[in-house]
Amino acid sequence: MTQVQSILVGIDLSKADRLVAADISSSNRHAIDKALWLAEHTGAKLTFLSALELSAHTQHLIQQDPRNFSDVDDAALGVLNEFVEQAEQQGIKADCRLAYGAAWHEIITEVLARPYDIVIIGTRNLSSVKRMLMGSTAMKLLRYCPCPVWVTKAESETDTKSILVATDLTAVGERSVQIGVDLAKAEEAALHVVHAVEYPLERPLRLSQTPPEEIQKYREDVRTKAEETLKQQLENDGVESLAKPPQVHLSDDVPESAIIDLIKSHNIDLVVMGTVARAGLTRFLVGNTAERILPELPCSVLAVKPADFVCPVTTE
């Protein structure tokens, strides 16, 4: 991801009943480590952002007298500045910002105000990625944030050894493939690319009593076209420079099952996929299906938006 120049890292400073805790969760630590790694490989600048979600009563007290919140404010900035110092010690340009409000909304507002190339967040002080992905912050960022969002899984090591790219063969799928290739090269990770082949005309053909051999010919043509398109998406200099050629998987299964099965069978650490498309693998990330599959992902996920994505959030 050599095109990355600016990274926004969302940090949850809350813990139990404390708005600000110096001892951040391991999931947040993992997100920071991954952001530092990416910044080192790309030369990007880091911005650490924490949003403090305050009750209406607390907000009222602050409006009456800002000094009512000065200690918490200073503590939060103190923790964020420690992350900035760590980055600078590694030769990475960095700064920090403190916001007040819903984390997902403040992160998106920041992205709309400044040109970030990617947002990286961790789990929100919860014990599993499943719980985190069921929460509003990650889900809303995956749906509404205009730039790529990397939701990291808390784990002992920061290395990504196996990457799965899910492509629906559209432009956003191609962008996902390129990002996956770049990350696999930087991480020296194994790369897998999957496409779930769909046959939209098969049911109408069967209902119209089309001869079986014609239906089979239709399926073969669709699959051949998918193979050709996928091959084209993988024709770039980055693929040729990978330590190992990518493993390509064409599946006749539903997209959800195809992804989950590959994650389990190849010990995938990171899934890269688009989030908006007319059909194919990315469609399940919008609507009811998203609520079913995202909580089941046992690994990190990097969600990519199409170039023409329009964010529904406004800064007004």
Q: What is the pLDDT of residues 167-183, one digit of tens each?
A: 989 888 899 999 999 99
Residue with tokens 């082949």: 197
Q: How far is CA 296 from CA 121, 132, 135, 151, 160, in A?
A: 18, 11, 13, 14, 19
Q: What is the pLDDT of residues 201-257, one digit of tens each?
A: 999 999 999 999 999 999 999 999 999 999 999 987 788 889 889 999 999 988 888
Q: What is the pLDDT of residues 118-150, one digit of tens each?
A: 999 986 544 444 444 445 788 888 888 999 999
Q: Residue 15 pairs with which residues in a beta bridge?
A: 18
Pairing mode of beta strands 149-151, 300-304: antiparallel
> Which residues are within 8 A (CB) of 204 and not within 5 positions of it... i.e. 6 or more apart?
none
Calpha distance 247→193 (Å, rounded): 6
Contact between 279 and 170 (Cβ < 8 Å): no
Structure tokens at 121: 């967040």
Q: Identity (one letter) of the amino acid at 194?
A: V
pLDDT score at 132:
46
Q: Identity (one letter) of the amino acid at 254?
A: V
Calpha distance 86→46 (Å, rounded): 11
Coil, strand or helix: which one is 286? coil
Residue 295, pLDDT above cutoff 80: no
Calpha distance 300→315 (Å, rounded): 29
Q: What is the pLDDT of residues 31-87, one digit of tens each?
A: 999 999 999 999 999 999 999 887 776 666 666 766 666 777 888 999 999 999 999
Q: Domains (ranges, CATH) in the chain?
A: 6-151 (3.40.50.620), 162-304 (3.40.50.620)
Residue with tokens 């790694």: 37
DSSP H helices, the chain, are 26-42, 56-64, 70-89, 103-113, 129-134, 136-144, 171-187, 202-207, 212-233, 237-240, 255-266, 288-293
Calpha distance 112→107 (Å, rounded): 9
pLDDT score at 294:
66
pLDDT score at 283:
42
Q: How far is CA 257 from CA 191, 287, 303, in A?
A: 19, 17, 18
